[in-house]
Amino acid sequence: MFEGQALRLTAVEDGIVELRFDRQKELVNKFDALTFGDFRQALAELAALPGLRGVLVTSAKDVFIAGADIFEFLPVFAQPEPQIAAWIGESCAVFNAFSDLPVPIVTAINGFALGGGLEMALASDFRVIAETAQIGLPETTLGIIPGFGGTARLPRLAGGAVALDWITSGAPRKARVAYEAGVVDTVVAPDALRAEALALLKSAIAGELDWRGRRATAHAGFELDAALVASARAGQARLAAHAPAASIAIELLVESASLTRDAAIQRENLAFARVARTPAAAALVGVFLADQAVRKKARALARTGKPVKRVAVMGAGAMGGGIAYVNALRGFPVVMQDIAQNKLELGLREVDRLLARQVAAGKLSAEKAATVRAAIEPTLDARKVADADIVIEAVNEDLGIKHRLLADIEPRVAPAAVLVSNTATLTIAELDAPLSRPENFAGMHFFNPAPVTPLVEVVQGPRTRAEALGTVVGHGSALGKTPIVVKDSPGFLVNRLLTVHLLAFCRLLRDGVDYARIDRVLEDWGWPTGPAAFCDSLGIDLLRYIVDAVSHAYGSRLLPDQAHALAVLDDAHRLGRKSGAGFWRYETDDAGRERRLPDDATQAALAPALAGSAIVITDEQIAERMILPLVIEAARALDEGLVETAAELDMAVMLGLGFPRFRGGPLRYSDSRGAAGIVASADLHEALGPLYQPGANLREMAAAGTVFFPI
């Protein structure tokens, strides 16, 4: 029978054929041009096979099918809509031909079946899933919609409510959830999967299961509740203009509910082509590819390091407690050491708070929480860190204090142990001065709150050796973070760009623009929170320190020319959420939920940072004044080699600062407008000062028409 490079056909018994996906020389199965070529040939074999009674679909990999090959998407998306629709239509025709084979089909889902992987399973009559597997349609998170028939098959199988939920959220679902939703027929232990799927197929062949009735339902229309549609539309309203994929999917389901399967798939082809041409699709597919590149680089770097078995956190408090929690949650025994009992207690309270929140949300059992808590050993005794493979220093941002701690700890640990500093602004070159083994020292900059923010900057000092760097990168990945290596410099990458962002915010405030309006404009632009709410969340005092430290390090180019808003609010003891008021005022309602409210006292508190009468400005100009400095400084940072690639820079800014993913990061956003457009807009704002003055490299790109991401 047929055997290709991506799949093969094998006779099982008495007219039953197994279609087994097994991409050669790859870790996972995926739908790309090669796989579709093999699939077409396999279908021709099946259609011509005399005595065919049933088809069993399986995977030889740990993952069933990961989905389509995203690397093939970008050149396709550059084509006009008719060509895209024709391309996706040809792919759908293969799935339809498979689904319409005149025999029952059962798919055994043994691992992740995402996107095209789930659509392959949906093209069969019955689905058996391993209890460890997960399935889903994540396309809207890439700025597109399911394109291999998912919007037509899922609602006809499991109903309109399930389709609305699964497609608009893009979230993967566990096996039991998929069973309860009616997407799969049976959940079994992994070692029983193939046998159960084969038994089910035999039942269908024997007429004990109505597979023909399933086919009829799959070709008919489906019900779609109007209230659910209205709710789904409302949930997508804020992002519909910028990231329209989910909204387009909702309207597609509404339009195709009364259609036959084939007519619905034709509608899907056209909708897919339309959404594929949106800027959000190009950006989000680019983000996916950048994420893959960053992860691949991290894996390669980790192979040069040593595995970490035991961790020490030096310096408790809220940040130290958060770092200890992150390590313990991932199974690492942690010694949390401090010289003050009250700091240890503060760190433990932070750990307990985080664990209680996880238990209350159903994400951790009480037993698991107790295990995590027991993995953290609080101590005043510095000798307890002796067995640590990595020591994370998280004390106050004071060079003298850090020097004394590092000099004291280095002799206590093994010569091969790696020391890292969680510094936010001090350079590794400054910090490694008292060390006798600076080659084993690096930066590991967690972002507040450490358990939530997915980024960790790994800072390579001037004397950090490759093995130590690889160890830190590997440990960052083991913690579930995305580690990105950055060059040693004041503020590193993210805090440097954060400083520029906040200086632009303070300049708008100085010009009399209301903080609430700025927050609204930036949130409408796609940020999760506006800059005022962001400052309140992290703490006005902390951000004042970062802005002052970083701006002074870069001299006149970044120095504000008068007292800025963060400084005057800090002096007024308006520190944000932790003090009850910053830019906004914070209250807790009767249900215990925190509410963010406008504060009439804010304007008076900001008076020392205001220049005079308020300017007249549009929302578009507010957004432009906030975004241009980020793009300009990002281009400078890349030119200076703070990170090696544009992909790493964009990922760091999205993960660390919340830059909208559907914009693709500051450099991909620059590409979407063209460097010439960025430079022209910056020149219009030249009077605002150095924040708005592009570097030579960005001007050269504008003149040459080049981009940061050629593909």
The predicted-structure confidence for 374-416, as pLDDT tens digits, reads as follows 999 999 999 999 999 999 999 999 999 999 999 999 999 999 9
Query: 560 and 465, same structural domain?
Result: no
The sheet that has 16-21: what strands, in order across it? 7-13, 16-21, 54-59, 105-109, 126-130, 186-188
What range does the domain containing 586 cover?
495-641+674-704
Q: Provide the 3-class DSSP secondary structure of residue 9.
A: strand
SS (H, E, C) 18-74: EEEECCCCCCCCCECHHHHHHHHHHHHHHHHCCCCCEEEEEECCCCCECCECHHHHH
Residues 6+ apart with CB under 8 A from 473: 298, 301, 302, 305, 458, 483, 485
Percent of the chain with pLDDT over 70: 100
Contact 551, 561 (CB under 8 A): no
Least confident of 297-301, 315-319, 590-594, 596-600: 590-594
Last residue of a domain, one of 421, 449, 483: 483
- Would residue 196 count as lying in a domain? yes
Distance CA 532, CA 652 (A): 21
Query: What integer pLDDT is reported at residue 371 of this predicted model?
Result: 97
Residue 428 CB-half CA count within 13 A: 28
- Would residue 646 count as lying in a domain? no
Instruction: Give me the chain's average pLDDT, please.
Output: 96
How many domains is the chain built from? 3
Residue 124 tokens, joined: 């069969």
Q: For residue 573, indicate whether it is catalytic.
A: no
Residue 302 tokens, joined: 């980790």
Query: 313 and 256, same structural domain?
Result: no
- Would residue 711 count as lying in a domain? no
Distance CA 545, CA 556 (A): 17
Contact 104, 205 (CB under 8 A): yes
Least confident of 108-117, 142-151, 192-201, 235-244: 235-244
- Residue 642 burial (C-beta neighbours within 10 Å; 0-12, 13-18, 19+): buried
Distance CA 31, CA 23 (A): 10
- What is the tens place of the pLDDT at every residue in 206-242? 999 999 999 999 999 999 999 999 999 999 998 888 9
Question: Taking the C-alpha atoms of 511, 513, 515 and 519 in order, what is their torsion angle to the nearest 10 degrees?
Answer: -120
Contact 390, 327 (CB under 8 A): no
CATH of the domain at 227: 3.90.226.10
- Would residue 654 count as lying in a domain? no
Indicate yes or no: pTM above 0.95. Answer: no
DSSP 79: S
Distance CA 118, CA 154 (A): 10
C-alpha dihedral sign at 502, 508, 511, 516:
negative
Query: 501 and 469, same structural domain?
Result: no
Residue predicted with more confidence, 327 or 710: 327
Task: Tell me the β-bridge partners of 113.
Answer: 65, 135
- What is the tens place of the pLDDT at every residue in 97-131? 999 999 999 999 999 999 999 999 999 999 999 99
Query: 323 and 272, same structural domain?
Result: no
Residues 6+ apart with CB under 8 A from 76: 84, 87, 276
Q: Provide the 3-class DSSP secondary structure of residue 173.
A: strand
Query: 160 and 192, same structural domain?
Result: yes
- What is the tens place of the pLDDT at every residue in 302-355? 999 999 999 999 999 889 999 999 999 999 999 999 999 999 999 999 999 999
Distance CA 493, CA 484 (A): 10
Query: Strand runs (DSSP E) across 523-628, as ranges?
Result: 585-588, 594-597
Residues 6+ apart with CB under 8 A from 183: 122, 127, 135, 154, 157, 158, 162, 166, 173
Query: 343 and 251, same structural domain?
Result: no
Q: Provide the 3-class DSSP secondary structure of residue 693.
A: coil
Last residue of a domain, one of 455, 483, 511: 483
Contact 380, 397 (CB under 8 A): no
> Is residue 163 scored above 80 in pLDDT?
yes
CATH of the domain at 519: 1.10.1040.50
Query: What integer pLDDT is reported at residue 72 of this predicted model?
Result: 86
- Would residue 667 count as lying in a domain? no
Query: What integer pLDDT is reported at residue 383 of this predicted model?
Result: 94
Contact 650, 667 (CB under 8 A): yes
> What is the residue-wise DSSP string for 639-686?
HTTSSS-HHHHHHHHHHHH---GGGT-HHHHHHHH-HHHHHHHHHHTG
| Pairing outcome for strands 54-59 and 113-114 | unpaired
Query: 597 and 552, same structural domain?
Result: yes
115: left (phi over 0), alpha (psi -120 to 50) or beta: left
Contact 157, 151 (CB under 8 A): no
Query: 532 and 629, same structural domain?
Result: yes
Last residue of a domain, one of 428, 460, 483: 483
- Would residue 284 count as lying in a domain? no
Listed residue (184, 32, 193) closest to 122, CA to CA? 184
Contact 538, 583 (CB under 8 A): no
- Would residue 233 count as lying in a domain? yes
Considering 445, 475, 501, 564, which one is annotated as catalytic?
A: 445
CATH of the domain at 393: 3.40.50.720
Query: 460 and 502, same structural domain?
Result: no
Question: What's the average model confidence in pLDDT over 58-63?
Answer: 96
Tally Cβ neighbours within 10 Å of residue 73.
Answer: 21
Query: 680 and 558, same structural domain?
Result: yes
> Could you give the angle at the alpha carbon of 52 between the alpha carbons of 46 and 58, nearest 5°?
65
- Residue 228 burial (C-beta neighbours within 10 Å; 0-12, 13-18, 19+): middle
Question: Taking the C-alpha atoms of 330, 335, 338 and 343 in order, what is their torsion angle to the nearest 10 degrees?
Answer: 50
What is the residue whose two structure tokens read 């989905």? 67
Query: 148 and 250, same structural domain?
Result: yes
Distance CA 288, CA 309 (A): 31
Read off the pLDDT band of 71 (50, 70, 90): confident
- Would residue 142 count as lying in a domain? yes
Query: 475 and 333, same structural domain?
Result: yes
Percent of the chain with pLDDT over 90: 94
Distance CA 380, CA 394 (A): 15
445: left (phi over 0), alpha (psi -120 to 50) or beta: beta
Contact 272, 460 (CB under 8 A): no
Rounded to a whole number of angstroms, the CA Rg of the chain reads 28
- Residue 213 burial (C-beta neighbours within 10 Å; 0-12, 13-18, 19+): exposed
Distance CA 311, CA 563 (A): 42
Query: What integer pLDDT is reported at residue 338 of this predicted model?
Result: 95
> Is residue 561 scored above 90 in pLDDT?
no
> Is residue 138 scored above 80 in pLDDT?
yes
Question: What's the average model confidence in pLDDT over 351-372?
Answer: 95
Contact 234, 246 (CB under 8 A): no
